[in-house]
Amino acid sequence: MLKLDEILVTRNWVGKPVRRKEDIRLVKGEAAYVDDLNMDCYQAAILRSPYAHARISRIDLTKAGALKGVVAVLTGQEVARETKPISARAITRPATQYVMAADKVRYVGEPVAAVVAEDRYIAEDALDLIEVEYEPLKPVVTIEDALKPDAPLVFEEAGSNVLMHDKMQHGDIEQAYREADLTLKEKFKVHRYSSTPLEPWAIIANYERASDSFVVWSNDQQHGRSLTNVCNTLGIPIHKLRLIVPDIGGGFGIKLALWPYIVILSLLAKKVSKPVKWIQTRREHLLAGSHAPDANVEIELALKKDGRILGLRITDIQNDGSFVHTAGIYGLIKFATMVGCYGIKATRAELLSIVTNKAPTVQNRGVGKPTMIFALERMVDIAAKRLGLDPSEIRLRNFVKPDQMPHTTPSGEIYESGDYPECLRKALRLVGYEESKKKRDDGRKTGKYIGIGISSGVEPGTSNLGYYYTARGLPEYTGNAEGAIVGIDYDGNVNVILGSVDSGQGHATTTAQVVADMLGISPERVSTANTMDSLISPFLGHSGVYSNKFNDVDLGAVIMATKKVRDKMLKIASHMLGASVAELKLKDGKVCLAKNEEKSVSFREIASLAYKRILLLPEGVEPGLKEIAYYKNPIAKLPNREDFNIQLTHSNSVHVVVVEVDVETGTVNFLRYVIVHDCGNQINPGIVEGMVIGSTVHGIGASLLEEFVYNEEGQLLSTTFMDYLKPTAIGVPKFELGHMESACPYTLLGTKAVGEGGSLPSLAAIANAVEDALSPFGVKVTSLPITPEKVLRAVRETKEI
Amino acid sequence: MYPNRFEYFAPTSLQEALSLLSIYQDEAKLLAGGQSLLSLMKLRLANPKYLIDLGHIADLNYIRQNGDKIAIGAMTTYAQIKDSELLRKDCPLLVKTASVVGDVQVRNRGTIGGSLSHADPAADMPAAVLASGAELKAVHLNGERWIKAEEFFVTTFTTALAPNEILTEIRAPTLAGHKTIYLKAAPRPTDFAIVGIAACLRLGPNNRCEGIAMGVTGASDKAYRPQALEKALQGEKLDFYTIREAAARVTEGIEVNENIHASSGFRSHLAQVYTARAIQTAMNS
C-alpha cells in the first residue's frame, strides 16, 4: 500500500476545513437535479394500491386511456408479461414480486398501473379514471401478526412469512455462559422511520427507437448495481441502457433501490415518442418510497460480576415489509458489529426477515446499526445498574483497548484503529461528568428530572458487498471498489470524473484537496464532474454513494489515477529538463529540479507536449494526460460463514447526553449534547463536523419524533410532513464536539467512515438519558420513539417506555 | 401534490371579490395566504373549482386604532401582527400568538383572516381571538354584520360565515392592564397545537380574578372558550391549588380529539397542564 508521504507532495490542503466548493451553486439553486434537466418530456403518474393486502380481480384503463392528453397506460399484468421478477438477495424462500403488482397487492402504495400524459396534472386526473376492483385480504402488519401459525401468507409460494432465518455462532459461546456469573436478557422494539431526502426519487427515461435502447436520467445512489438490475429485469443486454446520474439532492441510502421504478419508466418510454418523466411526490415518498424496517431485538449478556461481558446473544426479527430485493439485509449488517466497541469473545445471532403488508424497506442511514447499538448500549446500561457500576465504568472495562488494535471480532470484522477508552474519557471531560451528576442529583431534590445518557458505537463503512452471502451461497458481488479518471487539460488544470455522484458529502471539495496536495497546486485548479454517465464514467458493480465508502475506495481511485498522471508528467518533465525523475519535485503547478527550483517546466508546458507537440514527447510515452484507475479495499475477505468482514473501516464515537424530562407533559429537553468522534485522519474537518451534527439530528428525530404509524388495516397514517415529524433547526440542541484521529492503516489517507456516525449511538444515548432522568419513577426504556405520551404513561402507570 | 384543475381570480377590490363569491358560492374558495388551503389542494383533499385570491385587495391589510379597539385587516400577515408596536402595547396576546404560528415562511405568507376563516381546529389564532374578546366583520354584497369570536367557530373547517360572506376585519378590545399569554403543546415548535391555551386575566388586589377569558385550541373540533373553567375562577383568589383544581374543567363537556400525535386522554391531560401553566405564566408576566 502507498504510504502517505508517497501520496502527498504538500500538506497544504488535506486536513484543513476548506470551504465547500459546492455550496454557492446549491444555495443559489443552480444545481441540475433530474427535474431541472431541460428536456421536452411527457409526464408519468402511478396508481397505487389503497389496500395493504388484496387481490386485483379486475383493472380497466379504458376511460383513463381515453382522457384527452393521455398518451400511454401500463398495468401490472403487462409488466409481469414483459419483465422478470425483482431479484432477491438475502432471503432463502421463494417470493415472486414484480415492479408493479399484477394479481395481488402487498402494501398500501404498491404500484398497480401507470399513465403517461402531456403533463402531470392530466396524468393525475387520469389515475382517478382507472377502475380497479380489489378483493381485500386480511393484512399482516406487525411482526407478531406475521408469526402467528394461522397468519395469512404475504407470498403464498414461500409457505411462511419468514423469508430468511439464519443462525450464526462465533467464538465459544457455551464456555462464555459456563463461566458467567449472571446473564441478563431484555427485549427491545425499534419503530419504522426513514431519511426523507429533500429531493425525492426522480427519473426521466427515453427510448431511442432506431437503436432499440434506453437513456435514463435518475438520482440513483447505487448505479453500478442498478444498471444490472434494470437490464436483467427488462431482459436486455447492458449496452441497451445508458444511465446518467446528475446532481442528487440527498440520499441517505433511500435512493439505493429506486431501480424498480426505472423499469416502469423504461416500459412507459417504449410506448411513446418522447422522454417520460416521473418525479415522486412527497406523499408517494413517505407512503411507498423506502423505510427502515421496524424490529424486535432480544439481547442477552453473559457477564462476570465485575462487569466483563463474556458472551452476547441476539435474536433479531426484522419487519422488512414487502420488497424482496432488500429483505434480510438489515439483520446481516447488524450482526456484523453486534459486539459494538467491546472485546466480547463469543456471540450467537439468530436473524429473521419477516415479510408483511407494510411498505418496502431499503438501506436507510446506518442500516440496522442504530437498532443494534440501541439494544446493546441500553443493555450495557441495564447491566451497569444491576451490578452497581457507573455506566462509564462498565464500558471502560469492556472496550477493546488501543494496544489490541487492529482487533478482530469473533465473526471476523477487523477494527483497524481507535482509542475507545480515551474517546469516552474525553467525552466525560467535555460534559463535566461529575458536575453533571451533581446537578442531576441536586435537581431531583427540587422536582427536576435530569438524566445523563452515554452511548458508544462503532460506525462501519465501505461494505464488503456480498455480506448477504450467509444464507444464499456465493454472491454476485464481493469486496468494494470504485473508479476514477483524472486528467490534466491544456492549461495544466485538473479534471476529475468519479465513479460515484455526490449527494451532499462534498466530493468535489475533498477530491480537490487531495489532488491539490498530490500535485502541489491549489484546489481551485481541480474540477470534479458531479455526473455519472455509464457510457463515459469509470464505474464498477460497487459504484455509487453509500456505505461511507468515499473516503476509502473512491478517493483511493482518485489517488491511483492522479498518481498515474503525476508519474507521466514527471517522465515528460524529466525529458524536458534533462534530469532524472528522482531529481524532480512538484511545486506551485510546476515540476522543478529539487536542488534548483528556478529550473522548471509548468504543467501547462508539459500538457502542451502531451496534447499538441507530441513529436517532442520522450520515446515510448503515449500522448495525452488522462488516466483511469480502479481501487479496491485491501482487507475485504471472501465470503465465509466462519470468518468474514462485512464492513471494511470502523470509526467510533461516544455520545453523552444530558436531558431534562418534564414529567407533567412528557417532553424531553436537551441540556447538553456532547459527541467525541474518531474517523481516523480527516480530510476536511469542516465537512466532518457537518456530517456528525447532521447525522446526530437524524438520530434525535428517530428517538423522539419520527415514526411511520400504521393502523391494523395496514394503512399508513403518517403520509405528510405534518404527521411524519422531522426535527427542524429550532429545537435541536447545541452540539459540543470533540475529535480524535486514529489513522486507519488500511486506507490510503488513514481515513475512515463518516456520515452515518451520529445516527447510530444517538438513539441509545437519548434513551439512556431519559431512563436515568426517570429513575425515581423506576421507568425502563425498551422502545422508541420516546414520545411525550409514552413518557407520561410510563411515569404514571406502566413504568416502561 | 398536483391539485385538480381550478380557475384563478385575482380581484383588486372587495366588491369584485364579493361579486365573484356570490356567483360561485360553494364551488369557490378564498385564497388568503394559502398556507393551509394550498396544501389541501395539492393533496386533492380540497378541490375548489374557483380560487379567489384576496391578496391583491389593497385595503384589507392594516392594523389601526379605532376608538378603544384595534382594527386588524383580514389580510394582515402573522409577521405584521408579530411586529406591530400598536398591538404589542395594547393587545399583546395577538402578538404573542402570532409569534409562534408555524415558521418564518408561514408567518410571512399566512394571514389572520385566512386562519380564522379556515377554522382549523388546531390553529393558534382562534384561541387568541376568543380570549381577547374580539369581534369579526363579515361582509357580503348587500351589507355587513359583526360576529362575536365565540360564535364564529362552528366545527372543523366550518365557521359562521355564509357562503357569500368574506371576513374583512378583526376588531379586538385594547387590553391594557390585562395579563395575557398563549402557550401551546406541540411536538415541534413549528407545529399545529396538540393543545393551545390563550389566557387573558384581569387581576385585582391579592391576585383576585376580576376578569378571565380563555381560548382553547387543538382539543376539540373547534376552538372554544372553556366556560366552566372561567366561571370557576371568576372572582376567586388565584393561588396554585385553585388554578390546578379549576384547570381540570378545561375540557368539561367537550369531546376531545384523538389522532396519532395524542390520544384524547393525553390531550385532555395536556389541556389541563397547559391551562394551569398559562394562567400562572400570565399572572407572573
CATH value of A34-137+201-279 in 3.50.50.60, 3.90.1170.50, 3.30.1360.170, 3.40.50.300: 3.90.1170.50
Q: pLDDT tens digits for B105-118?
A: 999 999 999 999 99
Residue A83 reports pLDDT greater than 70? yes
- Same domain, yes or no: B12 and B35: yes
Identity of the residue in B191, B260, B269 whose CB atom sits nearest the CB atom of A717: B260
Q: Is residue B12 part of a domain?
A: yes
Residue A771 reports pLDDT greater than 80? yes
The domains of chain A are located at 4-30+481-632, 34-137+201-279, 294-467+637-798
Instruction: Identify which of A502, A492, A453 has the alpha carbon closest to the alpha carbon of residue A675.
Output: A453
> Residue A704's closest chain B neighbor by CA?
B187
Chain B residues within an 8 Å CB radius of A727 = 188
pLDDT confidence tier of residue A467, bands split at 50, 70 and 90: confident
Q: Is residue B1 part of a domain?
A: no
Interchain pair A125, B190: CB under 8 A: no
B46-58 mean pLDDT? 95
Question: Domain range spanning residue B196?
Answer: 179-283
Q: How far is B169 from chain A (nearest CA, A)?
A: 29
Chain B residues within an 8 Å CB radius of A722 = 39, 191-192
**Would you state the pLDDT for residue B58?**
87
pLDDT confidence tier of residue A468, bands split at 50, 70 and 90: confident
Q: pLDDT tens digits for A472-502?
A: 667 888 999 999 999 999 999 999 999 999 9
Neighbouring residues of A10: CB distance < 8 A, sequence distance ≥ 6: A516, A517, A520, A586, A587
CA A682 to chain centroid: 20
Cell numbers representing residue A643 in the block: 470468518
Q: Is residue B65 part of a domain?
A: yes
pLDDT confidence tier of residue A640, bands split at 50, 70 and 90: confident
Instruction: Give the three-state DSSP class for A111.
Output: strand
- Domains: count for chain B: 3
Looking at per-residue confidence, does A731 or A523 come out higher?
A: A523
Interchain pair A124, B2: CB under 8 A: yes
Chain A: residues touching B (Cβ < 8 Å): 45, 120-121, 124-125, 281-283, 664-666, 705, 709, 717-718, 720, 722-723, 725, 727-728, 730-731, 787-789, 792-793
Q: Is the peptide bond before A406 cis (omega within 30 degrees of 0)?
A: yes
Instruction: Identify which of B13, B39, B17 has the alpha carbon closest to the alpha carbon of residue B105.
Output: B39
Judged by a CB distance cut-off of 8 A, whether residue B27 touches chain A is no
- Same domain, yes or no: B75 and B139: yes
CB-facing half-sphere around the CA of A2: CA atoms within 13 A: 19
Q: pLDDT tens digits for A6-30?
A: 999 999 999 999 999 999 999 999 9
**Would you state the pLDDT for residue A466?**
79
**Would you state the pLDDT for residue A474?**
72
CA B123 to chain centroid: 6
Distance CA A58, CA A75 (A): 11
Interchain pair B103, A718: CB under 8 A: no
Please identify, among B173, B198, B217, the residue that sits at the C-terminal boundary of a domain. B173
Share of chain B above pLDDT 90, in %: 96
Q: pLDDT tens digits for A658-697?
A: 999 999 999 999 999 999 999 999 999 999 999 999 999 9
Distance CA A305, CA A287 (A): 48
Question: Number of Cβ pairs closer than 8 Å across A and B?
Answer: 57
**Would you state the pLDDT for residue A289?**
87
Strands (E), A39-110: 42-48, 54-60, 70-75, 104-105
Chain B residues within an 8 Å CB radius of A43 = none
Residue B90 reports pLDDT greater than 70? yes
A131-160 mean pLDDT? 97
Q: How far is A122 from chain B (nearest CA, A)?
A: 9
A562-591 mean pLDDT? 97
CA A686 to chain centroid: 20
Q: pLDDT tens digits for A32-76?
A: 999 999 999 999 999 999 999 999 999 999 999 999 999 999 999
CATH number for the domain spanning B122: value is 3.30.465.10
- Same domain, yes or no: B29 and B44: yes
Identity of the residue in B39, B191, B266 whose CB atom sits nearest the CB atom of A792: B266
CA angle A447-A787-A699, nearest 5°? 105
Q: pLDDT tens digits for A248-278?
A: 999 999 999 999 999 999 999 999 999 999 9
Residue A465 reports pLDDT greater than 90? no
Q: How far is B8 from chain A (nearest CA, A)?
A: 16
Instruction: Identify which of A294, A291, A296 has the alpha carbon closest to the alpha carbon of residue A316.
Output: A296
Q: For chain A, what's the residue count?
A: 801
Question: Is A4-30+481-632's fold the same as A34-137+201-279's?
Answer: no
Residue B77 reports pLDDT greater than 80? yes
**Would you state the pLDDT for residue A641?**
87
> Residue B1's closest chain A neighbor by CA?
A281
Q: How far is B146 from chain A (nearest CA, A)?
A: 34
> Residue B191's closest chain A neighbor by CA?
A722
**Would you state the pLDDT for residue B184?**
96
Q: pLDDT tens digits for A193-235?
A: 999 999 999 999 999 999 999 999 999 999 999 999 999 999 9
pLDDT confidence tier of residue A470, bands split at 50, 70 and 90: low
- Same domain, yes or no: B190 and B261: yes
Q: pLDDT tens digits for A698-743?
A: 999 999 999 999 999 999 999 999 999 999 988 899 999 999 999 9
pLDDT confidence tier of residue A471, bands split at 50, 70 and 90: low
Element (H or E) spanning A772, and its range?
Answer: helix A762-773
Chain A residues within an 8 Å CB radius of B243 = none
Q: pLDDT tens digits for A340-355?
A: 999 999 999 999 999 9
Which range (A231-235, A362-366, A523-527, A662-666) has the least confidence?
Answer: A362-366
Judged by a CB distance cut-off of 8 A, whether residue B2 touches chain A is yes
**Would you state the pLDDT for residue A302?**
98
Interchain pair B187, A705: CB under 8 A: yes
Chain B residues within an 8 Å CB radius of A283 = 1, 43
Share of chain A above pLDDT 90, in %: 94
Interchain pair A282, B1: CB under 8 A: yes
**Cβ–Cβ under 8 Å, residues B21 and B57:** no
Q: Is residue B147 part of a domain?
A: yes
Instruction: Identify which of B190, B180, B194, B203 has the alpha carbon closest to the alpha carbon of residue B260.
Output: B194
Identity of the residue in A665, A709, A722 whose CB atom sits nearest the CB atom of B273: A665
Q: pLDDT tens digits for A728-737?
A: 988 899 999 9
Question: According to CATH, what is the number of the domain A4-30+481-632?
Answer: 3.30.365.10
**Would you state the pLDDT for residue A472?**
67
Q: Is residue B246 part of a domain?
A: yes
Instruction: Identify which of A755, A223, A201, A226 has the alpha carbon closest to the alpha carbon of residue A500.
Output: A223
**Cβ–Cβ under 8 Å, residues B129 and B116:** yes
Interchain pair A121, B2: CB under 8 A: yes
pLDDT confidence tier of residue A469, bands split at 50, 70 and 90: low
Interchain pair B262, A124: CB under 8 A: no
Q: Backbone phi, then psi, for B197, in 5-degree steps? A: -125, 120
A373-393 mean pLDDT? 98
Chain B residues within an 8 Å CB radius of A125 = 4-5
Q: How far is B71 from chain A (nearest CA, A)?
A: 32
What CATH fold (topology level) applies to the domain A294-467+637-798?
Aldehyde Oxidoreductase; domain 4 (3.30.365)
Mean pLDDT score across all residues of chain A: 96
CATH number for the domain spanning B38: value is 3.30.43.10
Residue A439 reports pLDDT greater than 70? yes
A295-320 mean pLDDT? 97
Distance CA A506, CA A555 (A): 12
Chain A residues within an 8 Å CB radius of B3 = 121
Instruction: Identify which of A374, A337, A400 has the alpha carbon closest to the alpha carbon of residue A649.
Output: A337
A345-369 mean pLDDT? 95
CATH number for the domain spanning B202: value is 3.30.390.50
Q: Is residue B96 part of a domain?
A: yes
A618-646 mean pLDDT? 94
> Residue B100's closest chain A neighbor by CA?
A730
> Residue A120's closest chain B neighbor by CA?
B2
Chain B residues within an 8 Å CB radius of A725 = 187-188, 191
Distance CA A336, CA A333 (A): 5
